Structure 1
Amino acid sequence: MTQLPTVLACGLATLDVTQVVDRVPGPDEKVVARSLAVAAGGPALNAAITAARLGCAATLLTRVGDGGPAAPVRAELAAEGVALVDAADDAWTLPVSTVLVTQGTGERAVVSTNAAGRAPSAPADVTLPDGTAAVLVDGHHLDLALGAAAAARAAGVPVLLDGGSWKAGLDELLALVDVAVLSADLRLPDGPQGALDDDDVDALLAGVGALGPAVVARSSGPGPVDVLVRTGGRSKRGRVEVQQIDDDTVVDTLGAGDVLHGAALAGLARLPRTSLALPGAPADPGLVLVGALSALTVATRVATASVQHAGARGWTRDPGLVATLRAALDG
């Protein structure tokens, strides 16, 4: 039997309470939900489960704890075959996210404490699982992220950033990141904060790359993914076109970015070292770009499939779809 690629996802886990509504209520207004679902969530958790469904041996490093919200999260991770390394102390309470999904559009509104209230501390001492081929960090739990990224850097293991938004300490973390995949919402603190034109996007990719990553990509929902590779004093630009689907097939955009990053993690773990721009290992930017585009092309396919199903993991309930997407990564 072929050994599964081993990956580590480090970051936030939550308990998501999701209700589907016809529209988001206004001030002092009540609406009746069409449905209710309670499930484990969080960017790193969803990425770990995505990678596991795509044929990886996945471990999640996070803080869960033992409080009431923690039990269903632990149970779901166990059911998905994701190993949990829990760094929670006795004072930790698992964040609960309240999610409203609009029935007609699949758009979501989210309220969550995330990891707020926990001041960043010195990097934690992190040991990677044996055979780890790639590590994902989402910027939450900065002490764990810095520890995991430092351990990966020392072991020559590529680090992928889920760059959902700018967070305190992200500049320090980016110095240890090899591949950064940004959301359309991320802005540099000293850069434009509104809508971005093409020149602004170029500046954003270059600005993030200057902080450490050799590969920087930016997703934009159903729009293309822009990619910049800089290594060996040379740079290459590329773009991944996202499969277009009819608006009436969009069921739920919740967690689509998490799924994209989890699929990218699974793809990164499968890339040969010649397709990675790791420190101390000179690489041709053209080869690195080809590898990045290959992994991101399949990752966007997985994310597109996810928005056509309810929740971040509804797509995993279709065995044929999962097998097809996994075969695309293996190919």
Structure 2
Amino acid sequence: MWVLLAGLCTVDQVQRVAEIPAPGEKVRSLSVDVAAGGPATNAAVTVAALGAGATLLTVAGAHPLAALARADLETCGVDLVDLDPALPDPPAISAIVVRDSDGERTVVSRNAHASSRSVLSMRSLHAQLPRSEDEMPGCVLLDGHHPEVALEVARWARERKVPVVLDAGSWKPVFEDLLPLVDIAACSSLYRGDDPREYGVPVVITTAGPDPVRWSTPEESGETPVPVTQARDTLGAGDVWHGAFAYAVSRGTGDVPRWIAFANEVAAERVRHEGPRSWTTAVAKMGEGLP
């Protein structure tokens, strides 16, 4: 069992502080971490932590900073497939500050830049996608970054009847073409864009941090509560949720409410732990609780 993920890979510098500084203020951090980040990347780390195979299609490039992301993902058990390994530009970098008292975070980042080397990326992509039915992933997760890659993977998955989950944290122009290829759209409460149902998406989910997760299918709708927990670090919690959800979908059993409940539990476990990777050991056996 494995999950194919396509999207953004960043280099995250995470500073933990007693209080988030005001403009012009200097503060000393309590700790510093450097790790790979980005929605699809953090989701891939989650899938691997739960014990499934995780293959991440992204663009990292040849810049020395990209080696930091590669090393971190190798340690986490994620198979990184770089679609443009000779790209000289630095990867996207995120500067993150996490407040120690409640895990609230502030993020300054840039999304993946538009690459003029799309032909190379597409050739690399098609060379990496499985061809045999026995090799098919149980689920595909897209975050909408690297739009051409997202569209190609979605088309490939649709032709092979592999479930496609979209992490719709915020509206992106590619969604107009991508949403008709999506089986499940998982939106954040900050999502401001067209209703995925208008594009024929059968399952739409809306997460809202500690509040219940709302969902609808063609047959029914409802809410699934989120476990009450003491948050120590909320960085990447939504990405972890998407990774856990994709893992549950890839199992091929259960239903939407059960998949959501499982993702809620994994995300709640993530926020109980400080740092970008300390939580992975804690969730290692959680996948065994799925039917």
* Higher mean C-alpha displacement, 27-36 vs 12-21: 27-36
Matches within 5 A, 1:1-331: 5-88=1-84, 89-118=86-115, 124=122, 126=126, 127-129=128-130, 130-188=135-193, 207-230=195-218, 235-245=219-229, 249-272=230-253, 291-318=255-282, 321-323=283-285, 325-329=286-290, 331=291
Amino acid at match of 1:137: L
- Mapped to 2, the partners of 1:96 and 1:31 lie a distance apart of 21
Name the TM-score, length of structure 1 as normaliser. 0.81
- Mapped to 2, the partners of 1:212 and 1:261 lie a distance apart of 21
- Mapped to 1, the partners of 2:276 and 2:154 lie a distance apart of 25
Tell me how large the CA RMSD over aligned residues is.
1.9
- Mapped to 2, the partners of 1:24 and 1:84 lie a distance apart of 33
Consecutive unaligned residues in structure 1, runs of 5 or more:
190-206, 273-289
* 8 A Cα contact 1:120 1:142, kept in partner: no
Name the TM-score, length of structure 2 as normaliser. 0.91
Residue deviations 1:232-269, cap 9 Å, x none?
xxx31121111112xxx211000000100000010010
CA deviation after TM superposition for structure 1 residue 228, in Å: 0.8
Residue deviations 1:251-310, cap 9 Å, x none?
1000000100000010010124xxxxxxxxxxxxxxxxx601111100100000000001
Identity %: 41
- Mapped to 1, the partners of 2:260 and 2:280 lie a distance apart of 19
- Mapped to 2, the partners of 1:11 and 1:60 lie a distance apart of 8
- Mapped to 2, the partners of 1:14 and 1:52 lie a distance apart of 18
The number of residue pairs the alignment matches comes to 282
Match of 1:282 in 2: none
- Mapped to 1, the partners of 2:70 and 2:200 lie a distance apart of 34
- Mapped to 2, the partners of 1:156 and 1:92 lie a distance apart of 36
In the superposition, relative to structure 1, how do residues 35 and 90 fare at CA in structure 2: closer, same or farther (>3 Å)? same
Moved over 4 A (4+): 117-123
Amino acid at match of 1:252: D
CA deviation after TM superposition for structure 1 residue 121, in Å: 6.5
Paired residue secondary structure (1:210)? helix
- Mapped to 2, the partners of 1:137 and 1:176 lie a distance apart of 11
* 8 A Cα contact 1:306 1:312, kept in partner: no
Residue deviations 1:132-173, cap 9 Å, x none?
111000011111111111100011100001111111211211
* Higher mean C-alpha displacement, 87-96 vs 168-177: 87-96
Amino acid at match of 2:287: R
CA deviation after TM superposition for structure 1 residue 63, in Å: 0.6
Residue deviations 1:191-241, cap 9 Å, x none?
xxxxxxxxxxxxxxxx212213210000000100000112xxxx3112111
Residue deviations 1:61-117, cap 9 Å, x none?
001112111112111222222212111252432111100001112111101112145
* Higher mean C-alpha displacement, 170-179 vs 261-270: 170-179
- Mapped to 2, the partners of 1:91 and 1:150 lie a distance apart of 29
Amino acid at match of 1:156: K
* 8 A Cα contact 1:8 1:128, kept in partner: no
Bigger RCO (CA 8 Å, 6+ sep) = 2
